[in-house]
Structure 1
Amino acid sequence: MEWATRIFSVESRTEPSDFVERIWRTWSVPEENMLSVALPHWQIVVVRPSNGRPMTVVRGPETTTNVTGIPQDAEFLGIEFKLGAFMPAVALDALVNVGRELDVVSASRVAFAGRSWEIPNFDNAFDFVEHLVRDGALVRDQVVQQTLLREPVAITERSVQRRFLRATGLSYGTVRQIERAERTVDLLSAGVSILDAVDIAGYSDQAHMTRSLQRFVGRTPGQLAVRAR
């Protein structure tokens, strides 16, 4: 959402949770399109047009930038889940870079994971997640967090890779690449020089960093540095 926030006014909520990274909401803007950047987290997104029924989409992790159309005259709610939190009924690896609209039951309910659910709003989104957890529709694989923290796990590397893919939709390497690009954006946005950012973020050289940023955030180091100034 980093580049989206440059054209949207985004309101966010965070609470201590093993499952939710953050809750966000925003509203339509006059622009027709936005640049969506890579994001390792999957989301549930609710689009509420001023006229008509809301649309609820399960949006998978994104591994590249893309230009996305902005629905007009609507409010948007997003529930961004932590790495390792997943729905057993949803194959996240099949949703990478795509979204799946959930079946509408009524004006206020959608169907997934074998039952119908009330469509969440900004105020009750954390309650909605708690209902999913209590019902077993949303679970968490601790191995993902242990792997990200480089803690030892008592299973084979192949099992780790399989569980990481199931719980995130991505490989461990891809998640690390996206996180490194995000960290580099923060460095350059804070005024760190391009050459220093190469060393701090651990890229092999400036060309390596440039390729990574172009893929994951759609900007070159120079463009990010200019925006910072």
Structure 2
Amino acid sequence: MMSIATSRPELVIWQQHGQVNVAVRGPESRASRAPVPADTTFFGIVFALGTSMPHLPTSGLVDSSVEIPDATSASFWLKGGWWSLPTYDSAEAFVERLVSQGVLDADPLVADVLAGVSPKVSERTLQRRFVTATGLPRGDVRRIDRARQAAVLLQEGGSAHDVIDRLGYFDQPHLARSLLRYVGRNATRLRPSAEPDEPLSLLYKTGTLANA
């Protein structure tokens, strides 16, 4: 499949032929092809921007992942303890427990930036903390999220002109370059009427990054 660029870290669980695997994936700075083994099921939790595991800093996971060893059909070992495999129904409680146990943390500065609040720190400190928390500069996060939003709008039947106007692209070549870099598709191949192509990774709407 085509793995779309993403600014968020993820916890991914997949099972193939009875073998369970767990990995923490970092942000992906551009689209890339990813293998999808036959007879494999996947489950994932996408964390909020700025969320990270202190023992696995997001800044060190950009375009890479860390596989968690000793996973079983019921649990896996993470930061000194066993954790039950989350499900769709237990995902929120699982994340809350990660936070309460100090396995998952978030820099409030990133939340302030997303909310349009001007943090009371220097620009240099802001840039450093943002990259440390997210793994990516603010501009890269904004461009990735904007390209994902553009792809969603195009898949919903929006025209390239409307997307350019709505999301602030300079012109059609600017949109085209962004889509190819971060989504791996051009506008034509994202339209609902396009011929079936290799599948895309999960595509969801994200909020735009203020002041980026």
1:189 corresponds to 2:155: yes
Task: Indicate the residue corresponding to 1:77 in structure 2.
Answer: 43
**RMSD (Å) for aligned C-alpha atoms:** 2.0
Task: Indicate the residue corresponding to 2:200 in structure 1.
Answer: none
For 1:174-193, what per-residue CA distance to the aligned partner results, in whole angstroms no more than 9, with x for missing partners? 11001111221233233333
Question: Larger % of strand: which?
Answer: 1
1:60 to partner: Cα distance: 0.8
- The 3-state SS of whatever aligns with 1:116 is strand
Partner of residue 57 from structure 1, selected from 12, 23, 33: 23
Tell me which amino acid in the other structure corresponds to 2:141. V
Tell me which amino acid in the other structure corresponds to 2:134. T
Task: Say how many residue pairs are matched.
Answer: 195
Tell me which amino acid in the other structure corresponds to 1:76. F
Return 5+ residue gaps in structure 2 as ranges: 196-212
1:48 corresponds to 2:15: yes
Partner of residue 86 from structure 2, selected from 120, 125, 129: 120
**Maintained 8 Å contact 2:156/2:192:** no
For 1:112-152, what per-residue CA distance to the aligned partner results, in whole angstroms no more than 9, with x for missing partners? 33433233233322222122111111112121121123211
**Maintained 8 Å contact 1:191/1:228:** no
The within-5 A match list for 1:6-21 is none
Structure 1 residue ranges, 4+ long, deviating more than 6 angstroms after superposition = none
1:105 to partner: Cα distance: 6.0
Cα separation, partners in 2 of 1:226 and 1:166, compared to 1, 3 Å: same
1:66 to partner: Cα distance: 1.1
**Maintained 8 Å contact 2:130/2:137:** yes
1:72 to partner: Cα distance: 2.2
**Maintained 8 Å contact 2:9/2:51:** no
For 1:64-102, what per-residue CA distance to the aligned partner results, in whole angstroms no more than 9, with x for missing partners? 111111122232110110112211111212211111101
1:213 corresponds to 2:179: yes
Partner of residue 68 from structure 2, selected from 87, 102, 105: 102
1:228 to partner: Cα distance: 6.8
Task: Indicate the residue corresponding to 2:6 in structure 1.
Answer: 39
Partner of residue 56 from structure 2, selected from 90, 100, 111: 90
Counterpart Cα distance in 2 of 1:68 and 1:105: 22
Counterpart Cα distance in 2 of 1:113 and 1:166: 20
Counterpart Cα distance in 1 of 2:55 and 2:31: 27
The normalised TM-score by structure 2 is 0.83
Cα separation, partners in 2 of 1:157 and 1:107, compared to 1, 3 Å: same
The normalised TM-score by structure 1 is 0.77
Counterpart Cα distance in 2 of 1:107 and 1:184: 38
- The 3-state SS of whatever aligns with 1:160 is helix
Return 5+ residue gaps in structure 1 as ranges: 1-33
Counterpart Cα distance in 2 of 1:164 and 1:118: 31
Counterpart Cα distance in 1 of 2:127 and 2:68: 28
**Maintained 8 Å contact 1:190/1:228:** no
